Amino acid sequence: MHVQVILCQRRPATAPAITTVTAATPPEPQMPAPTAKPAESAEPAQPSGSAEPSESARPTDPAPPPAPSADVRMWHRFLALHAHVEHRLSTALQRHHGLGLSEYRALGFLAAAPRSELRMQELADRLGLNQSSVTRLVGRLNAAGFTYRDVCPDDKRGVYTVIEDAGRTRHAAATATYEATLTAALEEAAENDSGAGATVAALRSSLG
């Protein structure tokens, strides 16, 4: 007996289709386009040689100051005469007598004062010095033995400077040098400057 075997061929199952989902890629940021660098201005061409600046480029000269008045000119001339004479006197007194000009004059004011003494402020006023300067000056005179310090018996705050005999002697010896040097300095100034000579003549005539 024949057995017929029928072989059934199975079809392979169709695999389900796989849908591939592609994620959207964000767009890359766009870089700003480089801006063009402005062209550098060219250096101004240097002129060859040493060209003279034009008249319009030259600075104008400042206007001259107004001319001084007659009084100003007179005063300046007097100050120049005063400086010349004071320098000559100071040099002569220091060289021959060891005295400064203010020290010599302080001794003179004290020698001529009543009772040969002056308050410190009075002495400062006559010398044209401030209180500090006259204090130092009197300190030098005291150290040299030409003056001494005294206190007013009625007012303990009142300080006097009193001249000593040694101060009188030194002042008297220096007076001849002072007067001779003064006359020579005035004559010298008058010879070198006619204006100074006129000033000296006017001052001398005013004293009679």
CB atoms within 10 A of CB 138: 23
Where do the structural domains in the chain lie, given as residue ranges?
A: 101-206
CA 127 – CA 121 distance, rounded (Å): 10
Q: How far apart are CA 118 and CA 124, in angstroms?
A: 10
pTM score, whole prediction: 0.67
Residue pLDDT tens, the chain, 208 long: 444 544 444 454 444 444 444 444 555 555 555 555 555 555 555 555 555 656 666 677 788 888 889 899 888 888 989 999 999 999 999 999 999 999 999 999 999 999 999 999 999 999 999 999 999 999 999 999 999 999 877 666 678 999 999 999 999 999 999 999 999 999 998 888 887 888 888 888 888 7
Domain 101-206 falls under CATH 3.40.50.970: no
Given the structure tokens 């400077």, which residue do they identify? 161
Can you tell me the distance from the alpha carbon of 104 to that of 79, in angstroms, rounded to the nearest whole number?
21
Q: Which amino acid is at 155?
A: D
For the chain, the C-alpha Rg in angstroms (whole number) is 53
